[in-house]
Amino acid sequence: MSSPKQALAHPASSAEAAPGTPPGAAGGARGRGAPADADSWRGRFYRWDTKAAPYAFVAPFFVLFGAFSLIPLLYTAWYSLHNVQLSSLDHQTWAGLDNYRNLLSSDFFWNALKNTFSIGLISTVPQLLAALGLAHLLNYKLRGSTMWRVVMLTPYATSVAAATLVFTLLYSWDGGMVNWVLHFFGVEPVNWRESDWGSQFAVSSIVIWRWTGYNALIYLAAMQAIPADLYESAAIDGANRWQQFRHVTVPQLRPTILFTVVVSTIGATQLFGEPLLFGGVSGSKGGSEHQYQTLGLYMYDQGWIIGNLGKASAIAWSMFLLLLIIAAVNLLLTRRLRKSQ
Amino acid sequence: MSQLSISRAGRREGKAPRQRGRMGAGKQLHAGPVTYLVLAVFALVSLAPLVWTAIAASRTDRRLAQTPPPLWFGGNLFRNLEAAWDQAGLGTAMLNSVIVAGTITVSTVLFSTLAGFAFAKLRFRFSGVLLLLTVGTMMIPPQLAVVPLYLWMSNLGWSNQLQTVILPSLVTAFGTFFMRQYLVQALPTELIEAARVDGASSLRIVWHVVFPAARPAMAVLGLLTFVFAWNDFLWPIIALTQQNPTVQVALNSLGTGYVPDQAVIMAGALLGTLPLLIAFLLFGKQIVGGIMQGAIKG
């Protein structure tokens, strides 16, 4: 702030502030009077402090984040080009693109990719639609509004492990709560563990249960930011509640909806805990027929059950590429939407 | 844009946004009986699995396998809780989870506040690029770090030790961004400048100006981080074994046992969730507020 002035007043001190001089070294100012000495030391410390402090404050974050997230990211790419076995970790040999070639010719990889997509779709779409409706209701003038919000968020506080264990039991073939309730509606019991769609739906329902309330709160926050006069003028134009919701609320929420779509898509791509625990003993296989083996599970299975860490790295990078593609598609769609408006 | 800033300014006072909501609702949005009915159904769906966990945990395995499933409590709760506690080593697991989640929370809140403050209020070279990098990395899936981390930790002889789980989670990009967004609004720049003029060092400013201003957001970030760390699954399950588990790893081993006793598993699930549910009862309002606050900004 006042550094140029100080430099003029104390030429000696500014020379000392050259790089390499420790900030506390007061040696050169000895010839001067005591007050000036203190002053220049302070001035230098002050300048050094204002310059260095921002870096010192962001450094822990970047050092830790770099060491445990960014550098591993690159190493994963490196390992994906190697043959790395869990049984002999120190013995790594160059494999080139073998791991990737292996993946592309593996039915299980394509199966996992397909499952990740289908489970992602049947968990994300209903979840976000329900959240939108729920947020709309929570936005009414309610008695005990905080209580309702807290209750809707409770599943979020439940861990994947606990939630999945409970749902697994609810979905069991005989004696399970879900089939028992269905039988009152005259529906034949569904084999939630073995059937293709049944099991995928069961896994998705755990995701939906845990995250709907969370997304509803995000929508609610955005709804409360919509200016009142928009609704008033819509009401004057004769729009009923549904029309107001469709033509005022939803368009105003578009950025937030996009945000939740992106976040949920990322979450769906990484789906792991729910299918792992839902499968019990054969968890990492995603059921007897791999019917709900996601990419996340496939990576865990190849890496830590079968023990091929090189291949697991290749799967991890495929997941990343998939995310990048999704992000790019998203960006394109957003641009389109904006242009068409 | 202007909408956002209005809502942000309002949110700081806490009450204002709700009023806006009402105004937005204004003429029509008094909830009717249908609204309450639908909300009650949602609430039931949210809570029923948890309540039923408690019911199932109080029964026997054999009773759980029968139709119809039990709808009310039995007398076996304490036997099952004890069995789950012993079989899954939940004592160790709870202690481990408290240590892991506690350390991660303290460190995340501290470093997020420091970095968030720097990004919000201090000028330095590359700050824009670095912030962009921070936000961008929120998209990187944790799976991408897992293989090298596992190899490094094995090389250090750290597999199955708590620091293995703690180290990679000490900071989050989300936390940094969250604090930055909060401090941009909540911390008047003049206050920092005044402290500077008075000759306060940066550390003094952090201690006497930034921390007090950031306290509400630190509390919320702390709660969110604790929930996240307590529930984290992927990395702990790779890094730890049943000998030294966190709660999630212990629950996983209960669930994948070869002769599972469902009632005991439910007792374990109940125990593993209980600490968070209690925290939720106590701080639910703050957690809700925090998520809503982080929402638009995110």
Q: Are B46 and A213 within 8 A, CB to CB?
A: yes
Give contacts of A214 with chain B, Cβ < 8 Å: 291
Q: Which residues in chain A are contacts of B67 at CB distance < 8 A?
A: 174-175, 180
Average pLDDT over residues A310-332: 90
Among A89-93, A250-254, A293-297, B200-204, the range with the most confident prediction by mean pLDDT is: A293-297
B46-98 per-position pLDDT tens digit? 999 999 999 999 988 888 877 788 888 888 889 999 988 888 888 899 999 99
CB contact under 8 A, B151 and A276: no
Whether the CB-CB separation of B263 and B64 falls below 8 Å is answered with yes
A148 neighbourhood in chain B, CB within 8 Å? 39, 43
SS3 A88: strand
Nearest to B69 among A89, A164, A180 (CB): A180
Checking if the pLDDT of A41 tops 60, the result is yes
CB contact under 8 A, B288 and A273: no
Tell me the two tokens of residue A216. Answer: 């509803």
- The fold of the A115-339 domain, in CATH, is MetI-like fold (1.10.3720)
Q: Find the residue in A nearest to B167 (Cα).
A: A68
Q: Which residues of A touch B202 (CB under 8 A)?
A: 49-50, 53, 56-57
- In this predicted structure, the answer to whether residue A12 has a pLDDT above a threshold of 70 is no
Contacts of B65 in chain A (CB under 8 A): 172, 174-175
Closest CB to B49 among A167, A230, A231: A167
- C-alpha separations of A6 from A18, A26, A45, B192 in Å: 14, 16, 12, 21
Q: Does A79 contact B273 at a Cβ distance shorter than 8 Å?
A: no
- Yes or no, beta carbons of A162 and B254 under 8 Å apart: no
B230-274 pLDDT per residue, tens: 999 999 999 998 889 999 999 988 887 766 788 899 999 999 998
Burial state string for A254-284 with b = 16 or more CB within 10 A and e = fewer than 16: eebbebbbbbbbbbbbbbbbbbbbbbbeebb
- Which phi and psi (to 5°) does residue A38 adopt? -60, -40
Does the pLDDT value for residue A239 go beyond 50? yes
Chain B residues touching residue A231 (CB < 8 angstroms) = 24-28
If you average pLDDT over every residue of chain A, what do you get? 84
Report the gap between the CA of B67 and the closest CA in chain A (Å).
4
- Residue A341 is predicted with a pLDDT of 62
Distance, in Å, from the CA atom of B188 to the CA atom of A173, rounded to the nearest integer, reads 60
Q: What percent of chain A has pLDDT over 70?
A: 88
Q: CB neighbours (10 Å) of residue A200?
A: 23
How far B232 CA lies from chain A's nearest CA (Å)?
Answer: 8
Q: Which residues of A touch B195 (CB under 8 A)?
A: none
Whether A141 and B134 lie within 8 Å, measured CB to CB: no
Can you give the pTM of this predicted structure?
0.84
pLDDT band at A10, cuts 50/70/90?
Answer: very low
- Residue whose entry in the numeric block shows the structure tokens 């509640």: A241
Query: Is pLDDT of A120 > 60?
Result: yes
Q: What percent of chain B has pLDDT over 90?
A: 43
Per-residue pLDDT for B32 more than 70? yes
Query: What are residue A83's phi and psi, to 5 degrees?
Result: -95, 105
pLDDT at residue B164, rounded to an integer: 93
Strand segments (E) across chain A: 82-85, 88-94
Residue B292 with chain A: CB contacts under 8 Å: 217-218, 220-221
What is the average per-residue pLDDT within A199-207?
95
Domain boundaries, chain A: 115-339
What is d(CA A325, CA A331) in angstroms, rounded to the nearest whole number?
A: 10
pLDDT of residue A38: 54
Q: Sign of dihedral through CA atoms A121, B35, B52, B91?
A: positive
Q: From the CA of B12, how many Å to the nearest CA of chain A?
A: 13
ipTM of this predicted structure? 0.84
A282-317 tens-digit pLDDT: 778 888 889 999 999 999 999 999 999 999 999 999
User: Pick the residue with more confidence: A15 or A103?
Assistant: A103
Residue A207's pLDDT band (cuts 50, 70, 90): very high
Are B31 and A273 a contacting pair at CB < 8 A?
Answer: no
Quote the tokens at residue B190.
């003049």
User: Cα–chain-centroid distance for residue A159?
Assistant: 16
Distance from CA of B154 to the nearest CA of A (A): 9
Distance from CA of B244 to the nearest CA of A (A): 17
Mean pLDDT of B11-38: 56
Total CB pairs under 8 A between chain A and B: 344
Termini Cα distance of chain B: 14
**Nearest chain A Cα to B142, which residue?**
A69
Q: Residue A36 pLDDT more than 70?
A: no
Task: Indicate which of A165, A233, A242 best probes the interface with B, i.e. most B CBs within 10 Å of its own CB.
Answer: A165
In the predicted model, is pLDDT for residue A127 greater than 70? yes
The residue of chain A nearest to residue B5, with distances taken between CA atoms, is A225
> Could you please report the per-residue DSSP string of B131-165?
HHHHHHGGGS-THHHHHHHHHHHHHTT-TTSHHHH
The partner residue sitting opposite A159, judged by closest CB among B3, B17, B231, is B231
Which two tokens mark B37?
Answer: 């009915």
